[in-house]
């Protein structure tokens, strides 16, 4: 791809399959970065990794109505395809797949994908239909892509765990690759929804990162009681009057189940509301390496 040349945007699944089949026919590999658009540097880091590891990188941009409940921000979710296209070009993508809603859902879907158990905890308690919408649209994207790799950020860790299990259970020919969370200089995890933060709320939003650090420090200091570590994280969140915490949790990294005693690879996860924004964050902790 020549410098300064913007990559093509395609709208149809048939065009996507023609493009990816052509690469595979020549022995090449294909990577996919699924997004809902309004990209940031975290998305770009996923695109760059895919571009480094594959002959063609596709970035899908689709605000999926199935993963929004009534009253959520589907209608106001930030969108800017021209800006997204430029960011994809800069990061090394080969094309953008930006289907209209009628292309992804030609008729109201009566078939959905649900990853039972993993979809009901943590975020699932607050957004009970969300992950079925995510897994359904990702399954469709994987089917449209064909064999390849798909790249997801660890910032949405529960989503990553669900997609990994879905791909394994359904024998989908796509390798799911998790990538580290991309953060601002002060630790705030990058998210398209950060745009909702006001100037006063933006510095406060680091409370999620600070709560995770406090939880990690508690584990590193020898605590093996999940309730104790959760209480440490929750206390940091509760100390910020502008934040309204939803949860502070410690779970097994693979199963997302809360352990009786902390051991092995864990994930610490928090969620809180700040004004219009609802933010989530997480970090990994390996008890065997502390």
H or E element, residue 88: helix 81-91
Catalytic residues: 43
Cβ proximity of 229 and 262 under 8 Å: yes
| Distance of alpha carbon 44 from the chain centroid | 13
CA distance 112 to 102: 16
User: Reduced to 3 states, what is the DSSP secondary structure of residue 274?
Assistant: strand
CA distance 240 to 109: 42
Cβ proximity of 23 and 55 under 8 Å: yes
Cα distances from 268 to residues 22, 165, 215, 233, in angstroms, run 42, 20, 7, 9
CB atoms within 10 A of CB 201: 17
Q: Which residue has the tokens 């800017």?
A: 80
Q: Which residue has the tokens 């600070």?
A: 210
Q: Supply 118's token pair.
A: 């993993």
């Amino acid at each position: 791809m020549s410098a300064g040349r913007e990559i093509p945007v395609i709208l149809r699944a048939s065009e996507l399959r023609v493009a990816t089949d052509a690469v595979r026919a020549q022995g090449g590999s294909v990577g996919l970065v699924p997004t809902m658009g309004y990209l940031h540097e975290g998305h770009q880091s996923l695109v760059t990794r895919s571009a480094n590891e594959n002959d063609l990188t596709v970035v899908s941009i689709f605000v999926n109505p199935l993963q929004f409940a009534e009253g959520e921000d589907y209608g106001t979710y930030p969108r800017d395809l021209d800006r997204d296209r430029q960011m994809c070009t800069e990061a090394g993508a080969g094309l953008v797949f930006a289907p209209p809603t009628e292309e992804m859902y030609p008729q109201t879907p009566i078939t959905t994908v649900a990853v039972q158990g993993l979809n009901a905890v943590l975020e699932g308690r607050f957004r009970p239909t969300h992950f079925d919408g995510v897994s359904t649209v990702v399954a469709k994207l994987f089917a449209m892509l064909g064999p390849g790799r798909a790249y997801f950020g660890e910032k949405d860790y529960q989503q990553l765990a669900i997609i990994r299990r879905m791909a394994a259970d359904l024998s989908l020919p796509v390798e799911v690759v998790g990538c580290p969370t991309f953060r601002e200089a002060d630790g705030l995890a990058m998210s398209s929804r950060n745009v909702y933060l006001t100037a006063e709320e933006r510095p406060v939003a680091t409370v999620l990162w600070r709560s995770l650090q406090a939880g990690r420090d508690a584990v590193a200091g020898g605590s093996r009681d999940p309730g104790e570590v959760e209480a440490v994280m929750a206390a940091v969140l509760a100390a910020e009057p502008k934040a309204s915490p939803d949860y502070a949790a410690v779970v097994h990294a693979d199963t997302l189940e809360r352990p009786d005693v902390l051991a092995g690879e864990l994930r610490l996860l928090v969620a809180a509301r700040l004004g219009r924004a609802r933010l989530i964050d997480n970090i990994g902790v390996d008890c065997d390496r502390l």
